Amino acid sequence: MALVDDGDNANTLSMLVATDNHLGYLERDPIRGQDSFLAFTEIMQIARDRKVDMVLLGGDLFHDNKPSRKCLHQALTILKSTCLGPDPVSLEYLSDPHVDFASNTQVNYEDPNLNISLPVFTIHGNHDDPSGDGNLSAVDMLAACGLVNYFGRQPEVEKVRVSPVLLRKGETRLALYGLGNIRDERLHRTMARGNLSMCQPTEDEGRWFNLMVLHQNRAAHGPKNHIPEHFLSEFLDFVIWGHEHQCLVDPQYNHQRAFYVSQPGSSVATALSQGEATPKHVAVLKINRRNFKLEKVRLKNVRPFVIDDVVLATVPTLSPQSTEDEIVDFLKNKVERMLVIAQQQYHEQRDGALGPQPKPLVRLRVEYSGGFESFHPQRFGLLFADRVANPRDIIYFFRKQRSSTASTQASVPSNLVVAPVDALHVESLIGEFLDDSSMRMLVDLELAEAVRLFVAKGDTDAIVQSLKSTISDTQRRVLTSGSVGSEEQLEERIGETRVARRRHAVESGHGASETRGEAVVPAVVAGKRATVTNNDRNAIKAFERIAATSTPVTEPEDDRGSEESDKEDDFRPPPPPSKKKRPRQPIVTSDSEDEFVTTASGVKITRPSRNARTTLALASSASVKSTSGDEIEDSEECSLPSSIVSPPPAKRGRTGSRGAAPSKRAARGRGRGRGTVSTQRTVSSLASQMPAITINDNDDDDGGGESRGFGGFSLRKRK
């Protein structure tokens, strides 16, 4: 590491480096809710005070994949107050913005509509990675506002190509490589196979300072769930490593690859672990030609955090026969000493925005092996409720893990061959479930990815979007692949679609395919057997004959559906007919929570009650063809009627001499989707011309009339 001449400012490119800001962490906590924002404000203010040329962020700018509006508002406010201004930017952008940036077509400080004085370059992390509809990240919103330059996104993971952002200041040329977070196992496999390529500038070769920022596991938690440093290219000069929260900001030299690695760590503690207790720093990196200098800056607006361990068996004044009060008194005195240490640490940082005496974070790990008994940690925390920021989890009890004894090993016969235990993965569980069930349209990898997004990212629409995509694409492929003459051909088409989608999921490396259905309403029939009825086959043939010549069907207006759907969560059957015997009209519902919406203009399929059946019909003046989603939305030639829902026929039973008495269920009327009003079924006038689509939500886990599952979707033979 060569020193940089501080007097050569015209040729010295300076940047502030920070990672893992986790904006919005515990934002609803009355004590710690503003910690992440105060630290990020201090970071950006340091950049302004040091007059750096740029800010480089290493991922996880947001803590949540879908940050709240309050969090986004505060982030935008901080960036706007520090990034905008009249000062000119001394960096010259030399590369192609269409390759570097996914959200913008140019670097933000060259936009004539913006007045950027401090450019920010950032990649995404595992918390704010792209997901959901449009595969967008929360960082995309900041980039769309022109406040950050978002780079390092990869369209696929099986073959990764990293192109540098080329910047120049005077005689200093910087090739900035960014790699947003990819699941460590996938990236490890890709790099081990040699499928990661890094492009180098051909002009002025040998004069570029090669800097890379990535967001992956650095510590080895397993053989393949981290990225070894020797996997990175040896032509690199400096590596900024995000994702690891322990602050190791001082450059560490890798002798195998001959580059330096700096790990700034997080700016806010998101876990009560030993790594988070390290004092928080950011770095000011100065680059002059091929030389660099790193200066670490300690953050002031960081809540003090003290962690310590105690083994009760080693305390002379305690024994397994000690009372709970004696153990509590000992631990109370231990916490008191930790509070004094925390106050001293904060005074070393100098008072900041947290106030003169902020409540610290305290974690005491207590090993109670050897016959000791634990007690309720939250009850202990009440003793310090007004003095610490985490009274609920001050104490953490644990026992020492027991190793296998010699007697246990001797009890195993020497000639016994132990079969390897397969790891339990959600993909294998979903695959086994789909193999045993009749849901032949679903792809295991897509459904597993949707479950992962639902659990890990909080994307509540992930599973619904995956089902929509599968159903729509299957519908489109079946109807556009030619006539279907038999049930076997229909099942074959569905199987081909599933194989194609699974192949696409494997090749793209994503669990959820980005394929979208464009043509028609998602057609699903629910049941236990993967067959269709004769009426369905005849309707499909009739649809093929008239698809090119039929006229658009205008959707009838009905003012009742929208008012009812705002008040109820589930579909409710129509009330009993009045005595005047008015002509029954189809009831159109648009329940906001239990409906499937296609990519066509506002087409909705309503979720019926347990035994209700829905018949849909489609007519179009143009033949069915594969088009994009935008073309369907803008088209006025295709108009679809709403779903016409009718209750099942009345059950036959014995009646008295005076006629049938109304049942208790019928008296309830519109009761949570379980009414049994005896009415005749209303049939769509287009049912004889269009493919009939039956939806039977026969969920066995419905409780109290509220749906808790998606039911089984498959082709069914009507009995």
DSSP string, 35-93: HHHHHHHHHHHHHHHHT-SEEEE-S-SBSSSS--HHHHHHHHHHHHHHHBSSPPP--EE
| pLDDT value of position 349 | 75
Q: Is the pLDDT of residue 465 over 60?
A: yes
Give the list of residues 6+ apart from residue 141 with CB closer than 8 angstroms, or none.
72
Mean pLDDT, residues 106-115: 95
Mean residue pLDDT of the chain comes to 76
Question: CA of 444: how far to CAs of 183, 434, 498, in Å?
Answer: 18, 7, 10
> Residue 421: which residues within 8 A CB-CB, separation 6 or more?
none
Q: Are the C-beta atoms of 517 and 599 separated by less than 8 Å?
A: yes
Q: What is the mean pLDDT of residues 208-232?
A: 94
Determine the 3-state secondary structure of 654 from DSSP: coil
pLDDT above 60 (res 640):
no
Residues 617 and 641: beta-carbon distance below 8 Å: yes
pLDDT class of 616 with cuts at 50, 70, 90: very low
Judged against a pLDDT cut of 60, whether residue 570 lies above it is answered with no
Amino acid 448: pLDDT? 81
Is residue 638 within 8 A of residue 672, CB to CB? The reply is no
Q: How confident is the model at residue 712 (pLDDT cuts 50, 70, 90)?
A: very low
pLDDT, residue 520, reads: 33
User: What is the pLDDT, as a whole number, of residue 90?
Assistant: 96
d(CA 627, CA 518): 6
Between 601 and 548, the higher pLDDT residue: 548
Q: Say whether pLDDT at 645 is over 70.
A: no
Token digits for 636? Answer: 């006025």
User: Contact at 8 Å (CB) between 131 and 54?
Assistant: no
Determine the pLDDT at residue 526: 34
Q: What is the pLDDT of residue 710?
A: 39
**Range 632-639 contact pairs with CB under 8 angstroms and sequence separation of 24 or more:** 632/518, 632/519, 632/599, 632/600, 632/601, 633/599, 633/600, 633/601, 635/601, 637/552, 638/552, 638/600, 638/601, 639/552, 639/553, 639/554, 639/555
pLDDT at 270 > cutoff 50 = yes
pLDDT of 296 strictly over 50? yes
Q: Do the Cβ atoms of 13 and 169 come closer than 8 Å?
A: yes
694 has pLDDT over 50: no
SS3 (DSSP) at 256:
coil
Asked if the model's pLDDT at residue 384 lies above 90, the reply is: yes
Who wins on pLDDT, 651 or 277? 277
Residues 548-553: what's their mean pLDDT?
A: 47
Distance CA 50, CA 38 (A): 18
Q: Which of 217-231, 360-374, 458-472, 516-530 has the lowest mean pLDDT?
A: 516-530
Of the two residues 479 and 56, the one the predictor is more confident about is: 56
The partner residues of 311 in beta bridges, in order of sequence, read: 367
Higher pLDDT, 529 or 70: 70
Q: Please state whether 260 falls in left (phi above 0), alpha (psi between -120 and 50) or beta.
A: beta
Q: Which residues pair with 211 in a beta bridge?
A: 176, 238
Identical fold between 9-298 and 305-398: no
Report whether pLDDT(418) > 50.
no
277, pLDDT greater than 50? yes
What strands, in cross-sheet order, belong to the sheet with 395-398? Answer: 305-311, 361-367, 395-398
pLDDT(610) > 80: no
pLDDT value of position 57:
99
Q: In the structure, what pLDDT confidence band is assigned to residue 513 with cuts at 50, 70 and 90?
A: very low
Q: Is the pLDDT assigned to residue 100 strictly greater than 90?
A: yes
Q: Indicate whether 429 pLDDT > 90.
A: no
Is the pTM for the entire model greater than 0.75? no
pLDDT for res 345: 87
Structure tokens that stand for 369 in this block: 């092996």
Phi, psi of 116 (to 5 degrees): -85, 130
Least trusted range by pLDDT, from 4-13, 221-230, 343-352, 524-533: 524-533
User: Residue 386, SS3?
Assistant: coil
- Spell out the domain ranges in the chain: 9-298, 305-398, 445-514, 518-572+586-647+678-719
Confidence of residue 322 (pLDDT cuts 50, 70, 90): very high
243 is an active site residue: no
Residue 119: closest CA among 19, 47, 36: 47
Per the structure block, which two tokens stand in for 569? 């969560």
Query: What local confidence, expressed as pLDDT, does residue 133 receive?
Result: 83
Check 63, 124, 127, 281 and give the catalytic one.
127
Is pLDDT of 390 > 80? yes
Residue 146: pLDDT band (50, 70, 90) is very high
Q: Write a three-state SS string for 127-153.
A: CCCCECCCCECHHHHHHHCCCCEEECC
Calculate mean pLDDT across residues 477-483: 77
In the predicted structure, residue 600 carries a pLDDT above the cut 80: no
Predicted local confidence at residue 509, as pLDDT: 59
Query: In this model, does residue 63 exceed pLDDT 90?
Result: yes
CB 287 within 8 A of CB 4: yes
Whether the predicted pLDDT of 416 surpasses 90: no
Sign of CA dihedral 588, 592, 596, 598: positive
Q: Which residues of 498-509 are buried (b: 16+ CB within 10 A; e: fewer)?
A: beebeebbeebb
pLDDT band at 592 (very low <50, low <70, confident <90, very high): very low
- How high is the pLDDT of residue 435? 63
Structure tokens at 262: 């700096």
Dihedral angle computed from the Cα positions of residues 126, 127, 131 and 135, in that order, rounded to the nearest 10 degrees: -80
Q: Cβ contacts of residue 415 below 8 Å, gap of 6+?
A: none
Per-residue confidence at 104, pLDDT binned at 50, 70, 90?
A: confident
Q: Which amino acid is at 625?
A: K
Mean pLDDT along residues 68-78: 98
CATH 3.60.15.10 holds for 9-298: no
Q: What is the DSSP string of 317-343?
A: T--TT--HHHHHHHHHHHHHHHHHHHH
- CATH no., domain 305-398: 3.30.110.110
